[in-house]
């Protein structure tokens, strides 16, 4: 897959993932909502690591200026 995420997008997703993980592990957010937010944090982290957002593909979006 071609990378479709730029550095700013990746950094913002990592920051959001970290905040969501901290909220979950400190007990600020718990229960079903906490688990959903933790899954979102994991997805954000994985998409940032691989620089590919599957939701961008059908929409034709790219924040990566290299391609």
Mean pLDDT per block of 10 residues along the chain (67 residues) reads 91 97 96 97 96 91 82
Contact 5, 49 (CB under 8 A): no
pLDDT of residue 7: 94
Residue 60's region, left for phi above 0, alpha for psi from -120 to 50, else beta, is left
Q: How far apart (Å, rounded) are the C-alpha atoms in residues 46 and 65?
A: 20
> What is the pTM assigned to this prediction?
0.88
pLDDT of residue 67: 60
């Amino acid at each position: 897959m071609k990378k479709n995420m730029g550095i700013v997008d990746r950094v913002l997703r990592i920051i959001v993932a970290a905040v969501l993980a901290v909220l979950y592990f400190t007990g600020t957010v718990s229960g079903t909502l906490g688990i959903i937010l933790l899954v979102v944090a994991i997805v954000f982290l994985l998409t940032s690591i691989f620089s590919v957002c599957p939701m961008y593909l059908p929409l034709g979006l790219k924040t990566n200026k290299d391609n």
